[in-house]
Every structure is written in C-alpha cells, then in structure tokens.
Amino acid sequence: MTVRIHSLWLMPAASDEALLAGIVGDLSRRFGTPLFAPHLTLQGDTETTPDLLEQVTTAVAAAVETFAEPVSLVEGSDAYFRSFYARFAVSPALAKLKQALDPEGFASFMPHVSLLYGPVEAEAKAAAIAEINTRLAGRAIRFDRIGIVTSGQDVPIAKWQVVTSVALRSA
C-alpha cells in the first residue's frame, strides 16, 4: 500500500488568493515553471492521515482568528520550492499555528508564500523579483483557513490537491 503524503497549508482569503494566483500564473507563463496554488506551508510531508489532520487542525483553527500579515519582502533563493517567494515575519498568529501544528519545525520556520518553483535565469529572475516586490512589499495578505493537502516533495506538483480545508475563527 502506498503511503499518502499530506501537508498543512495556510490559505489566503479569496481576494488575496486571486491576486497571488495571478502572480504565480504570470510567472509560470513567463518562465515556463510549474503552476501551483499559493499557500504558506505550516507543515509539510507528513504521513498523518487526513482524518487525524482534520481533527487536530479543527481544534487549532478554532483558537486562531482570521488575520492579515504584511509581506516583508519578495526574495529568491536557489532552493527549488523557494526559488521566488513573498516572505512574512513570524507574527504571533503564525507562531501559534506553527507551534501547534509542527512544533519540531518551529526553530527553522520561515513563513513565506512561494510565487515560482524551480530554477530560472538569474538576471531575469532578479528583475521579476524587483518588479513583484514593488507590488507586494508591505501589502497585507489575509489568511482565513488551513488546507489539508495531498502534496509533498515526492508528489508531482500537478497532483497536489486540497483534500479539505478548515476555517480559522471569524474575527
């Protein structure tokens, strides 16, 4: 039997999701990179079943109100899944979610929403980062739910799929 790998994603509210998805789509077309749903990973690559993840996530989500966080900076790296991303500070709400859902990963937590996956030509990437940073730096992104997603390092991006989502408490 194949083990299904899942992740927990903090998902942007509809209007911010549309904005970020538009940027991901534009960059994907421009650079020929994979298309994916914008998200902030709270926990990746777990073998925990979706039912158990939903139980835990429901309890955690009930204790955290929907919230908005400003983008600190848009930057890039050589890491495939962090090639180009919007970075956020570790705010109290993000810290609470990460500590509750993935305490072992808290020390290395770098909250971000990826905007492009994979390697691209350095000069063109730097220009695109500067362009998107002008649009996003300082802009608040509202987060309103946690997605339980079939995804992981060993799952093809095209097969990533939200199994269910759990709403954060209404503000």
Cβ atoms of 149 and 94 within 8 Å: the answer is no
Instruction: Give the per-residue pLDDT at 1.
Output: 43
How far separated are the first and last CA of the chain, in Å rounded?
42
Task: Tell me 28's DSSP state.
Answer: H
The C-alpha atoms of residue 108 and residue 73 are separated, in whole angstroms, by 18
Q: Tell me, yes or no, if the pTM score tops 0.85.
A: yes
- pLDDT number for residue 151: 87
Assign domain 6-167 to a CATH class: alpha beta
Please choose, from the candidates 90, 111, 110, 93, the residue with its C-alpha nearest in 3D space to the C-alpha of residue 39: 111
Query: Is residue 68 exposed (0-12), middle (13-18) or buried (19+ Cβ within 10 Å)?
Result: middle
Give the pLDDT of the chain (171 residues) as one tens digit per residue. 455 889 999 999 999 999 999 999 999 999 999 999 999 999 999 999 999 999 999 999 999 999 999 999 999 999 999 999 999 999 999 999 999 999 999 999 999 999 999 999 999 999 999 999 999 999 999 999 999 999 877 788 999 999 999 999 997
